[in-house]
Structure 1
Amino acid sequence: MNRREYAAIIESRLREESDRLSREFGEHTVQSCYIDNLLPEDEVKKINAAFPDKDTMMLKKSLRENKYVAAQMDKYNPILEEIIYAFQDPRVVKAVEEITGIQEMLPDTHLYAGGISLMAKNNFLNPHLDNSHDKDRKLYRVLNLLFYVTPDWSTENGGNLELWDDGPKKPQREITSHFNRLALMATHKTSWHSVSEVKVDRSRCCVSNYYFSEKPLEEHEYFHVTSFRGRPEQPVRDVILQTDIALRQSIRKIFKKGVVENSHVYLKDEETNELPGASGKS
């Protein structure tokens, strides 16, 4: 299937459950909802089977996180690019706008911090706020779309999305990374979220997209770097990470785009200024 075919099914499924999704999205401080059985099961298994070996992906390992990511999608199986960009189809964007109430959202063709991610045993993502803007610091990041594609994934496996509605010092709620589940999550100044440590010797695979907007979700303008905190049981790590936030935030006040360019983007072909595969063909 190509991205247009994926997008048609995704739009249909979203509209089938739009009333429930819209209602659930507004129930918590970290606005979120999820839908199961998004695509035909066989198709999602093909997507999962196409994931590259983690050794070919970028390892991000520190006190903040431990996971594998990739955004330069022309290096991998074409099906991965097709499913990623299916979520950027205008029909899907419109359906998501109607569910979330967030208008005039813009998908990110550069996949800044998006693309695919893989979490193996002992991988984790500490509580954090996403960077408030896009790679050029011109648009606000307003929504995460996380599509989980690993078959037979249970809550007990770990690697699940955690949402901290009352901040990183209070209890969190959890959305299991179930197979064929799409989670939508707003991102703003209080949208603390994390991924629990993977407990099993398997890979939890996810297709990630971010939507941006010229307007922030808050009623005022703001800027913050990706901001990590320690878990409640990690007081020492929390102090270190809060210091890290302050340092990096200070640097960004001087260097608007940072000192080192973020390599987690899909680099365009310089001659055509087009993304490989942009025609939508498989």
Structure 2
Amino acid sequence: MAARLVDLERLRAALPESAEEYRRARPYPHTVIDDVLFPEAFAAAVSEFPAVDDPLWKGYLHVNETKYSNTEPESWGPNLKAVAQELCSDEFVAYLSELTGIAGLIPDWSMDGGGLHQTLRGGHLNIHTDFSTHHDHSNWARRVNILLYLNESWPEEWGGQLELWDKAITRCEGKVTPAGNRMLVFTTSDESFHGHPDGLQCPEGEARRSLALYYFTKEESTVRRATQYRARPGAGIRRYMIWADGVALDVYDRLKRRLGLSDETAQKVLERIHTLRDRTRRR
């Protein structure tokens, strides 16, 4: 296992400038930080990232996204798991609070919506804001997202740049290439619209890979909001499909919270629909 993981000393040294950049960023508070892990730690984590056909991948396969996740850290390799643990450590969370200006952040080792993510050729994630409260802790408000990209290399022509949109969805105000060892940090709110809605152009067998971790604060009262998807300008009739899919996902989110449903049930149904749709297209 790599002895050194996150280069926290370097991150803290740059904190005054990073915090100011974060606060001033548009369209919402965010920053992009390169070389987050020491080189040997990054190489070790990448080497342990599960293969594209690993059986523990669970598919989110519907109109608004075609993505796979692994939310079981106990199944990850020791270096990859250690990186996630360090990003949930008191020291890193304290750094994150200073960077974002948000006190009392709580890391989420249950990986509610987080964990390892991969998107394959043709995959996409429509523009959206994230769900607002933890599914198992109703008084936990989601406040900060971090995305650590774990691609060994990622040519620009493969696409997959994360687009950052203004709250009215009139213009894209920034793009983040998922380059290896790059971390995007942003404040989670009802205005933090982001996504990579165009199908990936990477070769078969390659994947857009990341570790997603979410941080919460305890609140006396919270407002439940499911993931909110939006169509980009010029989407035409597809905007109605995006809207209808979002309504269905909101209903599922309510049922999941009320009845304690497992994501596995929904994912199995979505995977079957996705497979049938692919077969229909090939005919």
Distance in 2 between the 1:73 and 1:256 partners? 23
- CA offset digits 1:78-136 (Å, max 9, x no partner): 22211112110000000110011011000001011111111221111110111101122
How many residues were matched structurally?
258
Distance in 2 between the 1:232 and 1:258 partners? 37
**Which SS does the other structure have where 1:241 is aligned?**
helix
- TM-score, structure 1 as length reference: 0.82
Give matches, 1:207-222, under 5 Å. Answer: 207-215=211-219, 221-222=222-223
Q: Is the 8 A contact 2:41 2:79 kept in 1?
A: no
After superposition, the Cα gap between the structure-2 partners of 1:231 and 1:260, relative to the gap in structure 1 and judged at 3 Å, is farther
After superposition, the Cα gap between the structure-2 partners of 1:55 and 1:168, relative to the gap in structure 1 and judged at 3 Å, is farther
Structure 1 residue 258: deviation in Å?
A: 5.8
Paired letter, 2:113: A
**Which SS does the other structure have where 1:240 is aligned?**
helix
Give matches, 1:56-135, under 5 Å. Answer: 56=54, 57-135=57-135
**Which SS does the other structure have where 2:146 is aligned?**
strand
After superposition, the Cα gap between the structure-2 partners of 1:215 and 1:33, relative to the gap in structure 1 and judged at 3 Å, is farther
Matched, 1:12 2:9: yes
Question: What's 1:24 paired with?
Answer: 21
Question: What's 2:171 paired with?
Answer: 170
Q: Is the 8 A contact 1:147 1:182 kept in 2?
A: yes
Distance in 2 between the 1:258 and 1:14 partners? 42
Distance in 2 between the 1:235 and 1:172 partners? 22
Question: What's 1:278 paired with?
Answer: none
Gaps of 5+ in 1: 265-282
After superposition, the Cα gap between the structure-2 partners of 1:244 and 1:150, relative to the gap in structure 1 and judged at 3 Å, is closer
**Which SS does the other structure have where 1:128 is aligned?**
strand
Distance in 1 between the 2:41 and 2:230 partners? 37
**Which SS does the other structure have where 2:172 is aligned?**
coil
After superposition, the Cα gap between the structure-2 partners of 1:221 and 1:260, relative to the gap in structure 1 and judged at 3 Å, is closer
Matched, 1:262 2:263: yes
Question: What's 1:270 paired with?
Answer: none
- CA offset digits 1:236-276 (Å, max 9, x no partner): 23222323434554676677446733359xxxxxxxxxxxx
Distance in 2 between the 1:65 and 1:263 partners? 16
Paired letter, 1:205: R
Distance in 2 between the 1:254 and 1:60 partners? 17
After superposition, the Cα gap between the structure-2 partners of 1:169 and 1:260, relative to the gap in structure 1 and judged at 3 Å, is farther
Q: Is the 8 A contact 2:22 2:100 kept in 1?
A: yes
- Shifted more, 35-44 versus 241-250: the winner is 241-250
Identity in percent:
23
Structure 1 residue 192: deviation in Å?
A: 0.7
Distance in 1 between the 2:148 and 2:252 partners? 33
Give the structure with the larger helix fraction: 2
Q: Is the 8 A contact 2:7 2:38 kept in 1?
A: no
